[in-house]
Structure 1
Amino acid sequence: MIAKMKDGDILVTETTSPEIMPACKKASAILTNQGGLLSHAAIVSRELNIPCIVGLEDITHLINDGDILEVDANNGFVKIIKKEKKKGVLKNEIHP
């Protein structure tokens, strides 16, 4: 996931750490499952001047690579604009 990040992508992750700083620097916003006001993600996003919402609990399970999102960090709001269609065959589409 981190290696595929392009400039302007939204970083959706369990939490941030110094190891993923290259991805944070490319991100247009950061969304994390864990964290608070003094978490690594919150501090880094303030330093990089990018929107960040922490403590979203299940965000990594709700968002997939390629989903189009609207992030309003001022109000703590994330909206899925468009879900990315899965590539390949889904298990429930296989018929004997």
Structure 2
Amino acid sequence: MSEVKMKLDNRKRGAFYIEEEGKQIGEMVIGVSDTTLTVYHTEVDPDKEGKGFAKQMFDKMVAYARQEHLQVLPLCQYVHLQFKRHPENFEDIWKK
């Protein structure tokens, strides 16, 4: 299974991403403030869809938000749908 990595620039904008054989195959675009992690967009290469890569990035983002005591603002449709499907799992971090 591929490892999810995170990159942030000096303005705390960046992404969780997955690489396979040196090529980025998925990305979850984020921004971080003192209290909030905003998820803007999640995308996986079309030929890699349906293999759980978006879920891997989602799980890493949730773990990071909890570790850093951040609220998640899910502007991304994928993340918002996950939160809506299982609200009981994300009450502690969901910024509605």
TM-score (structure 1 length as normaliser): 0.31
When normalised by structure 2's length, the TM-score is 0.31
Report which of the two structures shows the higher radius of gyration computed on alpha carbons. Answer: 1
Q: Which structure: greater strand fraction?
A: 2
